[in-house]
Amino acid sequence: MRRKLVVGNWKMNGSLAANAALLDALKAGLGQHAADSAVCAPAPYLAQCQAALGGTPLAWGAQDVSAHASGAFTGEVGAAMLADFGCSYVIVGHSERRAMHAESSELVAKKTVAALAAGLTPIVCVGETLAERDAGQTFAVVGEQLGTVLGLLSDADAARLVLAYEPVWAIGTGQTATPAMAQEVHAQLRAQLEQKSAGKVQILYGGSMKPDNARELMAQADIDGGLIGGAALKAVDFLAIIAAAG
Ligand code: 13P
């Protein structure tokens, strides 16, 4: 039985004051849930997360990482720096970075390797656009995105990933993949992981997951949790999704 994992992706939202209020409410409301949980904050707020969340069951992480270890890479943040601030997780290959920062699957794979080398758990995001889904290319697209990452990893390192299926057309749109649609893709991703002896990797669903649809999505055989955008910014909603996960 794989443990459930619920991760909030704050994206480029928050402030010291707003984060403090959100983290206080999350800590107060977290209780004894069976699911693991984490928030992925903008890099400047990782120290705040470390101070607020150290010693609590809520883990924290970043939203991106450099493929390089250190050096002349102005503006980039290295995986060891994230580890210095107690991060457990880092999101890599989010569709917003693939689309707006032209991140290729090859770059996402290198970032995954860099994160693993620093002892972080990469949350590798894959997902198709609406045009790709309509053209019947969903499985080819996510298969290539995952395959390129797995191609750089040993079986042992592949087993250390978290994977997130985020259909691009469902992100921030209020349009969710039906549980059956998501499960179909998750099952294919699971089969691909099994070829690397990594079938136990948690596969999260992301894309307009809310308290009212979370339970049904996470009840699917291969959906092991959620990667939550908008609903992670409201403590009551994020806590409800964690509760729905078990
Ligand atoms: P929304 O939950 O706002 O659709 O965002 C999903 C997402 O992109 C999480 O990484």
Mutate to test the pocket of ligand 1, among 10, 11, 39, 92 (most ligand atoms within 8 A of CB): 11
Measured in whole angstroms, how far is the alpha carbon of residue 59 from the centre of its chain?
13
Instruction: Please report the domains of the chain, with CATH numbers, ordered by start residue.
Output: 5-110+125-244 (3.20.20.70)
Protein residue whose Cα sits closest to atom 1 of ligand 1: 229
Q: Per-residue pLDDT for the chain (246 aa), expressed as one digit of tens each?
A: 799 999 999 999 999 999 999 999 999 999 877 789 999 999 999 999 999 999 999 999 999 999 999 999 999 999 999 999 999 999 999 999 999 999 999 999 999 999 999 999 999 999 999 999 999 999 999 999 999 999 999 999 999 999 999 999 999 888 888 999 999 999 999 999 999 999 999 999 999 999 999 999 999 999 999 999 999 999 999 999 999 998
Protein residue whose Cα sits closest to atom 2 of ligand 1: 229
β pairing state of 202-206 and 162-165: parallel
Judge if pTM exceeds 0.95: yes
User: In the beta sheet, which residues pair with residue 8?
Assistant: 39, 228
